[in-house]
Structure 1
């Protein structure tokens, strides 16, 4: 009898030790998204950019040389959270405007919901932009324990307003008195969360910064870091990048002070390419935000930290935004879903082995007009574009602008998006474009006329993908959502 009790106690102890070891093996995960950051807007691609904190993490981790996202931010964020291509969920057309009554479908399971089941505390700081017309669409209903940030696409970096309404929340509560430059505010909140965190549990921190989306605003001390840049907007934008870099440095310093850094896995990625109209730069890549050329979809990105068995190099394997969902579930020790588009690439990116991803959909937007609607896929080294690729067909050096600077910018729903379809830059040849990205990574040579059989083959592959297309949700804006109806605050509960 005594021996039975001893064996029973021993089994319990071994079980508890096992549970403890599982918890200890789960790294903290910090997922940083930079809004509208260009390929050429980080120091590890362009030494003229002053990003020492980003560069240190990138050089000590793994620079992702072929990490792809969607050409606009709502689709990319949907892909990050769900692991599903936007065109399969009706999330493919443009972005969610403030008064549009829809959100990322509520029947889909978001990444933080999966991580919570694995024992993670989940926090979000920054930009949502996945819909807010009803509370069920918002972050704390979709898996985040805490939320500190804003719902819409953009806002003033200081007073936190957009289109006449305040848009800033701590959970569900409105924050009215914060006038601090937002990267500083977000880094301070991250420091507080990290300091308060129960270190016996793993943390997931989703940190989609507002920076460096327009409006172009930055404290002068950061702008002054770039005295040699003559273009006023590019100089301010570059200062915004350096302010973002400082905020990221402050977050990593907090992880170190609180003894969490060595057991933290960090992902850094842009949500789409830089926006040439607002001084973002993707050179030497072609195009920019809103386009399916490489400049709109090939993200500045890296990984760093816990779990990597090889670091200090550049990884050339293919990665797509949908892959982060299953990959991070695997990082957390879970079993990734098999019925999503994302591929678990954890073993590949941690060890430097060949990527399992060999093809992907850049974007499918079936709403075709003379100046919108496009489809693009990559299969191996080849890329096929059909339709209107987007309003930035060229290669823009950092101090070049795109000719539409004089257009009124007061209403971003039109001035910052829809006006591109009237842009002088839209005068490009439509139809199929075929590129060999291995030989021609900057998309100078359209091979469509020379290789019609390959075009036909890739069109067939694209049609197979399109069999799963869900019509785009893009309803008219509803004035019931206007902040005037809620005391001047953007508020859910009207759809």
Structure 2
């Protein structure tokens, strides 16, 4: 009897031990999102974070929205993860990356206006701790591979000084995919023996093409007398670094190959038990449109050359992502990884991108410029194969990723931890989002509350661009309520091509033609009325180290506001648009009188007031007057019933406009003026061995 009891006790103990072992072994095979948080907080096996950013990827540029696009690896990750159907980014590159890194709306840190230019003496604010720095505090190794575009005039703005243990990539916003050279087109003028540089942005494609025709590719900026007045030249430089050292070994190798190979080696040589933050902002699929020919072959049926090349670039990007995921699996990282994929802004339809059926494109606040293709994929999720319609802003990744790493940094941020909602364990935490606030070129802004979106100001390109490769033949159904069934949502918000009758199409085309003619006539009248407004003279060093004096020509800008913007950083500041306005040289005219101050008057009627040109002007108005003031362009859309922004509700529902506008005005005290400076020729690569280099600005 004694031995029987002892045997029973032994069996029970063995079974308990076996059960504990199984639980330990299975812990990371069937872990829930809650377990991720709890385990991170106790310091056990924090998840690896892999954050992939595609550049200029449009809504219609991924296979789960467009089956004609060949992205099988990304498609598999998306459909076996959680597709984020309402993931929003900023309208353009630098603002999006700034929001991601700081967890703040760009308008609160002066980075809302445009991209950082190659020789602009600025960078992402140093006043805040950014994402890799927070993750390093939590024990993560941090690695950045790809595009930086957050400033490099001083070493303190570069990745390895901002929390990344390693950096492998380039500093600028765009470059050649093979040579890794960035050629910044500039206009030169020689006045009184001085050589003056004026940057021309690549977004002005007519100017770019004109300059390419004027100057051969091998033209040099050598400061010699042979340089003709008003000649266009190139400031070319190499831009690829391994940490802080220029890496010439990768010259002539396609960048997507380079990044995939580097990451494979990085994963192979590190310990998978140590938590890692791998930030991968790919160069693809930003212009210039370049890819090895084999990737274009499957898309010969696409008539549009840009779109055909773009789709080939997508295939190369997808292949690289497949290689990286395979490397994660082979090195033991995958099962404990969270993979996030997003674009940085909407697709640029001028260069092959497509956002169909959304309105607009990159650099606008329309849905086509701000609603991004995104997903989360992880073996740690228990709700894979679903689509989430929760509202997510790019700034939210800061708090979300710090949260899964075991930290908590929400104070003072716009970022919201979305992990519980993404993993299906909580209701969506965000119902309000600011698209942007920028008044450097007139009032531009937007807010979303629930399903309603308000836009202020003229938003620029406002068309719906159909994909050149054609629309899918199958009928596509809009469905915004179901989040469980991937098959009903994977072709979200697309419209069958033949829904509109021929008569209806003819009516639409006639209206479009009339609208274009009206715009053309307005533009002619505007050009007649518009005069050049002189900026205050600024001191700019020339190549012979002299300063422009009172007899030197003025730098002027078209359509610039007369009040000079202030900034918290030292140095000269100009209100300049990165895409539309171009500085150039004219001789000073002594009879030109300029006022730099504006007298504030109190008007009896809103109709007597001048049009508000800055958000500060709006503070003198009440909401009712603003809604009634027709010169301030206000648009409202219900994005649940009208995600393609066809039906403006502003005139039909003024009370809704007041509610949305009132909420937006509450954000104005947080507005920091856009930080923009003229480019500094000391950053010219010819002074740095033809390499784009930091260290020329203190």
The TM-score with structure 2 as length reference comes to 0.63
Superposition deviation, residue 58 in structure 1: 0.2
2:464 counterpart (379, 387, 395): 395
Q: Quick check: 1:64–1:303 contact (8 Å CA) kept in 2?
A: yes
Residue 668 of structure 2, aligned match among 450, 466, 470: 466
Secondary structure of the equivalent of 1:368?
A: coil
8 Å Cα contact 1:75-1:92 kept in structure 2 = yes
- C-alpha displacement at 1:353, in angstroms? 3.7
1:306 to partner: Cα distance: 4.0
1:213-248 CA-partner distances (Å, limit 9, x unpaired): 000001111111212211111100000011000000
Deviation at 1:28, TM superposition (A): 0.5
Superposition CA RMSD, Å = 2.0
| Aligned match of 1:50 | 70
Q: In 1, distance between residues paired with 2:428 and 2:446?
A: 20
Q: Which residue of 2 aligns with 1:69?
A: 89
Correspondence for 2:382 among 295, 306, 309: 309
State which of 437, 441, 446 in structure 2 corresponds to 1:368.
Answer: 441
Q: Distance in 2 between matches of 1:419 and 1:43?
A: 36
Q: Which residue matches 2:243? A: 171
In structure 1, the partner of 2:684 is 482
Q: What is the deviation of 1:334?
A: 1.4
Whether contact under 8 Å (2:410, 2:416) holds in the other structure is no
State the partner residue of 1:122: 142
Once the two structures are superposed, the pairs formed by residues 214-293 of structure 1 within 5 Å of their partners are 214-293=287-366
Partner of 1:190: helix, strand, or coil? helix
Q: For residues 419 and 181 of structure 1, do their structure 2 counterparts lie closer, same or farther at Cα, with a shift above 3 Å needed?
A: farther
1:386 to 456, 465, 469: 456
- 1:292-331 alignment runs, 5 A limit: 292-331=365-404
Distance 2:148 2:40 in 1: 34
**Residues 430 and 444 of structure 1: is their aligned pair in 2 closer, same or farther, counting only changes over 3 Å?**
farther
Report if the CA contact (8 A) 1:315-1:352 is conserved. no
Residues 151 and 114 (structure 1 numbering): CA distance in 2 closer, same or farther, change over 3 Å? same
Q: Is the 8 A contact 2:339 2:377 kept in 1?
A: yes
Measure how far apart 1:198 and its partner are: 1.9
1:449 and 2:522 equivalent? Answer: no
Aligned-pair CA distance for 1:197:
1.1
Change in 2 beyond 3 A, CA 1:433/1:28: same
- Paired with 1:388 and 1:258, the residues of 2 have a C-alpha distance of 51
Between the aligned partners of 1:338 and 1:241, the Cα distance in structure 2 is 38
| Equivalence map 1:99-138=2 (5 Å) | 99-138=119-158
CA distance in 1, matches of 2:637, 2:382: 34
SS at match of 1:467: helix
Q: Matched residues in 1 for 2:56 and 2:395: separation?
A: 18
Which ranges in structure 1 are unaligned for 5 or more consecutive residues? 1-17, 402-413, 421-428
**What SS does structure 2 have at the residue aligned with 1:302?**
strand
Among candidates 396, 417, 420, match of residue 347 of structure 1: 420
Partner of 1:156: 176
The CA distance in 2 between the partners of 1:89 and 1:128, in whole Å, is 18
Displacement of 1:316 in angstroms is 0.3
Question: TM-score, normalising length from structure 1?
Answer: 0.89
Greater radius of gyration (CA)? 2
Q: Is the 8 A contact 2:41 2:407 kept in 1?
A: no
The structure 2 residue matched to 1:377, chosen from 447, 470, 481, is 447
Q: How does 1:178-197 map to 2 (within 5 A)?
A: 178=250, 179-197=252-270
After superposition, give the CA deviation of every residue in 1:451-482 in whole Å (9 maximum; x if it has no partner).
Answer: 11211221111111121001110111111111
In 1, the alpha carbon distance for the partners of 2:147 and 2:667 equals 30
CA distance 1:107–1:296, shift in 2 (3 Å): same
Q: 1:415 Cα deviation (Å)?
A: 12
**Structure 1: how far apart are the matches of 2:444 and 2:577?**
21
User: In structure 1, how many angstroms separate the alpha carbons of the residues matched to 2:244 and 2:298?
Assistant: 38
Q: Which runs of 5+ in 2 are unaligned?
A: 1-37, 184-235, 471-575, 583-630
**Counterpart residue number, 2:552:** none
Match of 2:122, SS state, is coil
Shift of 1:352: 5.7
Count of residue pairs the alignment pairs up: 454
The alpha-carbon deviation at position 363 of structure 1 amounts to 1.1
**Which residue of 72, 81, 85 maps to 2:105?**
85
Matched residue of 1:206: which SS?
strand
* Secondary structure at the counterpart of residue 440 of structure 2: strand
Inter-partner Cα distance in structure 2 for 1:231 and 1:77: 30
Partner of 2:222 in structure 1? none
